[in-house]
Amino acid sequence: MNQLKETIQEYMNKMVKPVFDQLLAQLLLARPDDVINWSINWLEKLQSVNQKGNKQETQHNQSEEEEDEDDEVLPIQKETKKTTRTGVSAEVYGEFNKKENFKPRVIEKTREQIDRIRKKVLNSFLFQALDEQNLHTVIGAMEEKKFQPGDFVIRQGDDGNELYVIDEGELECTKKFPNQPQERFLKKYLPGESFGELALLYNVPRAATIKAIQPVIAFALDRATFNNIVKDAAIRKREQMEQILNKIELLQSMDTYERLQFCDVLKEAKYCRGDKVIQQGEQGDTIYLIAEGELEAYKEGQLEKVYAYKSGDYFGELALLKNTPRQATIIATTDCTLYYCDFKSFTRMMGPLEQILRRNIGRYEQYLQ
């Protein structure tokens, strides 16, 4: 029975989940009225691309065998799989996202502008994987743009050719959901944050409307530079982060758009077994989400642990909700990967979940009397 369960789980993870994760993401971005027909068309397109890739793989293998019957098959399979994935990405995500002979635009800037852009883009995880040369190219291609209160920077449903990194000012993000008469407010954007990348990553219309509520200075990056320099690393990072956030029970009520935006305020930290993550009595301004590993909470003067944490849990919220110093010491009992953000960013993104946090205090409050 255990072997059968493991076989089914392996099949789900390798064969089913990758397809349905992509389909779900595209559905939530496109929000078609006819979900069934839209999904069928998307799957047929994916099937067509895969069949084309398999045909190319067969022809390639036959050609190699004719040249040298003793050639190893394994290296050919690795190469052709890579080619097939590239084909899926190019065709499913659209012609606009194909790479080309690329010469990045260069917009002249002062030293002060360059320093401002560098400081802001390095706060966004979209750009954190870039090496120095690519970062230099991205900064050179960015264009400073100014908006006044009431100006719409992007509108839901429009095509998008730029992403924006905020230098100064605030903007509000709203979204119109099906069968709802009014747009729903999602969040405020503050300096250092970026937006507009979803349309470039997946070649879909703008997923929300963003309007300036203060005088705003932002740096705009064009689609061509994004596709050729940033996109591949950004997609890998987005997928990795979304897989991690999907594990966090606290975030299950967020839709894909909100979850992806939440990625922008998270930072990663790794701890070894035995490390103290937070110390009882210190002032805390951070909440932690556990991607991997296990931790335990202890209160001074008590031998019994307050709580045991595992992958998918969160901690640090008591200082946020009670406005008090840290109530316990949290120690890693295995090597851990955590994602964290400051309370201001958390409440701005996750404010509606405050009641869930308060309800869950009861899981260990009995130990903190």
Instruction: Tell me the β-bridge partners of 308.
Output: 296
Instruction: Tell me the β-bridge partners of 217.
Output: 146, 168
pLDDT over threshold 50, residue 232: yes
3-state secondary structure at position 258 = helix
CB atoms within 10 A of CB 351: 9
pLDDT over threshold 80, residue 163: yes
* pLDDT top residue among 334 and 21: 334
- Lowest-confidence segment of 13-22, 131-140, 155-164, 285-294 by average pLDDT: 13-22
Q: In what order do the strands lie in the sheet with 336-342?
A: 267-271, 336-342, 286-292, 314-315
pLDDT at 68: 43
State which of 51-60, 96-105, 178-187 shows the largest mean pLDDT: 178-187
pLDDT at 49: 63
pLDDT over threshold 80, residue 108: yes
Helices 35-67 + 17-30 axis angle, to 10: 140
pLDDT at 53: 52
Q: Is the dihedral of CA 180, 183, 189, 194 positive or negative?
A: positive
pLDDT over threshold 80, residue 223: yes
CA distance 115 to 219: 12
Confidence of residue 148 (pLDDT cuts 50, 70, 90): very high
DSSP state letter for 180: -
Helices (DSSP H) in 146-293: which residue ranges? 197-202, 223-225, 231-246, 256-262
pLDDT at 367: 43
pLDDT over threshold 90, residue 140: yes
Answer whether 0.95 is exceeded by the pTM: no
pLDDT at 231: 81
pLDDT over threshold 60, residue 343: yes
User: Is 154 within 8 Å of 206 (Cβ atoms)?
Assistant: yes
Instruction: Tell me the β-bridge partners of 152.
Output: 211
Strand ranges in 151-294 using DSSP code E only, listed in sequence order: 152-154, 162-168, 171-175, 184-189, 194-195, 209-212, 216-222, 267-271, 276-278, 286-292
Q: Which two tokens stand for residue 262?
A: 């939440």
Helices (DSSP H) in 227-313: which residue ranges? 231-246, 256-262
Closest CA to 223 of 98, 38, 73, 54: 98
CB atoms within 10 A of CB 276: 13
Q: In this predicted model, what pLDDT tens digit does every residue of 50-92 receive, in sequence order?
A: 665 555 555 554 544 444 443 333 332 333 333 333 333 333 3
CA distance 242 to 191: 23
pLDDT over threshold 80, residue 154: yes
Confidence of residue 169 (pLDDT cuts 50, 70, 90): very high
pLDDT at 63: 47
